[in-house]
């Protein structure tokens, strides 16, 4: 019976995209009854907060693009992609959480709540990183650039160019004696 539960948990983990190490930690939590459960995270509020973070970073990226700051825009784009992937993962976890609640599977429900909690922590970190992105605003402004060149007047090499003389050969304008077999214009047989 235990092996059957493990295989079902592994299949469920594979379908939901959990790592292989996560189900092993969940099985260990099943044996340790005295282990404290992680604080409950409201899944709907987590999704709302993550969507808000995505829209906030999208606005930051748009303002950086309007200013023409490619460095900051690239930094924000990377954080935005991470936030969107985290939001997708949270949506999958919430769907699995609701399914586990409908089945009455406490173990899976606990695992999905932990997954939502981790995704929320990651999205908060990514939003903080996005707010810390810097780019062109570090440049204080344009300034005059001067270039000075010193030298002897002529180039360094007195004999610059090819060492041998070159002759220009005339172009031969003659038709071939027989048609090219690969030509589309060859005569029909």
pLDDT in tens, 76-134: 999 999 999 999 999 999 999 999 989 988 998 899 999 999 999 999 999 999 999 88
pTM: 0.52
Please write the tens of the pLDDT for every residue from 54-74: 999 999 999 999 988 889 999
CA distance 27 to 149: 73
Confidence at residue 145, expressed as pLDDT on a 0 to 100 scale: 82
Give me the count of residues in the chain: 189
Buried b (16+ CB within 10 A) or exposed e, 138-153: eeeeeeeeeeeeeeee
């Amino acid at each position: 019976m235990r092996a059957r539960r493990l295989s079902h948990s592994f299949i469920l983990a594979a379908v939901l995209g959990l790592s292989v190490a996560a189900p092993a930690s969940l099985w260990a939590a099943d044996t340790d009854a005295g282990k404290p459960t992680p604080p409950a995270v409201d899944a709907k509020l987590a999704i709302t907060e993550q969507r808000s973070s995505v829209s906030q970073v999208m606005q930051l990226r748009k303002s950086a693009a309007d200013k023409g700051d490619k460095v900051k825009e690239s930094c924000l784009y990377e954080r935005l992609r991470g936030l969107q992937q985290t939001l997708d993962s949270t949506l999958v976890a919430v769907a699995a959480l609701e399914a586990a609640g409908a089945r009455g599977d406490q173990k899976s429900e606990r695992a999905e709540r932990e997954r939502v909690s981790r995704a929320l922590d990651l999205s908060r970190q990514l939003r903080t990183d996005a707010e810390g992105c810097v780019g062109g605003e570090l440049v204080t402004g344009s300034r005059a650039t001067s270039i000075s060149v010193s030298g002897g007047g002529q180039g360094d090499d007195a004999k610059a160019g090819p060492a041998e003389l070159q002759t220009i050969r005339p172009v031969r304008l003659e038709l071939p004696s027989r048609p090219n077999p690969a030509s589309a214009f060859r005569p029909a047989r």
